Amino acid sequence: MTGPAPVERDSRGILDPWLLRSRVAFTRHPPTPALDGLVDRFWAVRWDLPDGTAHRQEVLTHPSVNLSVGTPDARSGAMAPEARVTGVATDLVDRELAGRGWTVAMMTTVGGFGAFARDPVSTLVGRVVDVDVVPGLDGGSLVAAVTGAGESGDEAREPARVAVLAGALEGVLAKADPGVVAQAREVAAVARIAETDRDVRRLDDLAARAGVTPRALQRLFARHAGVSPTWVLRRYRLLEAAESVRNGERVAWSDVAGALGYADQAHLVRDFRAALGRTPEAYARALRAM
């Protein structure tokens, strides 16, 4: 299966992506066949920064859940690797990297985490929690297995670490309720329509494509995705709006608004400012100045 496009071609959600590429080794890995439809990608970062320097990365996240193993945020003061589940973030998130470290993680499809979670995924929105929210996963054992995978050197170990994480998730999936897993995949398929089809602009449009009532679709998204279908539609529009100027390009924001299904430019500007704390043009100017 072909994985996501390299960050050079698809940096949706990564603010100031050129700076990330200059300081951090960032790679993506496709899901295994067993996890297809539930896991969007595995991703990995490695860094080795000079003493006294740090990299702070802001991200406008996809409507996905991430399960990660690796070096904690530098601001925590901790050094030992940890395993965490990060629920869908409705605000900008940031992470600070310093010294030398690594992380491997899986990013679910929208709705995919519902196949692994014990409770509705809506309970994880805006939270970072231990991996024991996934039945059958033990944080300490997972950290030990992922950290020790491979032969030598973080770069050489990265594929092995990803493979260990994938294997752990496959083990959870093998014991999960097949009906719940199938439902999570169905939600992910509907969310994919929200991501890619710009003719789908409202909840009613998406529900019609899914063949269910709007209320039923809202319940399914709360259980498996954690956020509403309308929020997913809006977030993907904002990710694409920010991506349109990732290299500092000058764009006609009225054209961008129309292409993304907004009624007018003012609505795009309002949503963009609420999510990123600045207008689209201010964000574009900042990129052009770098």
**Cα atoms in the Cβ-side hemisphere of radius 13 Å centred on 243:** 17
Q: How far apart are the first and last CA of the chain?
A: 36
Distance CA 205, CA 201 (A): 6
Count Cβ neighbours within 10 Å for each residue of 275-287 and write b for 16 or more, e otherwise: bbeeebeebbeeb
What pLDDT score does 1 carry?
A: 39
In which residue ranges of the chain is pLDDT below 70?
1-11, 17-18, 153, 246-249, 289-290
> Which superfamily is assigned to 179-288 in CATH?
Homeodomain-like (1.10.10.60)
pLDDT of residue 283: 82
3-state DSSP assignment of residue 258: helix
Tell me the helix, strand and coil percentages in the chain, rounded to 5.
Answer: 45, 15, 35
Pairwise CA distance, residues 139 & 155, whole Å? 23
Domain edges within the chain: 17-175, 179-288
Q: What's the confidence (pLDDT) of residue 71? A: 96
Cβ-Cβ contacts under 8 Å for 167 (sequence gap 6 or more): none
Are 126 and 87 in contact, with CB atoms under 8 Å apart? Answer: yes
Q: What three-state secondary structure class fits 171?
A: helix
For residue 190, give every residue at least 6 positions away whose Cβ sits within 8 Å of its Cβ, in sequence order, or none: 111, 206, 209, 210, 217, 220, 229
- Which residue, 173, 87, 178, is CA-closest to 136? 173
Q: Are 257 and 267 in contact (CB under 8 A)?
A: yes
Output the DSSP codes for 67-102.
EEEEPPPGGG---S-EEEEEPPPSS-EEEEEESEEE
Spatial CA neighbour of 109 closest among 26, 183, 198: 183
pLDDT digits (tens, 9 = 90+) for 146-167: 999 977 767 788 999 999 999 9
Strand partners, 55: 97
pLDDT value, residue 88:
96
The pLDDT value recorded for residue 12 is 75
Instruction: Compute CA distances 40 → 3, 64, 166, whole Å.
Output: 8, 9, 12
CB-based burial label for 233 (10 Å; 0-12, 13-18, 19+): buried
Contact present, 18 and 290 (Cβ < 8 Å): yes
pLDDT at 290: 61
User: What integer pLDDT is reported at residue 276 of this predicted model?
Assistant: 82
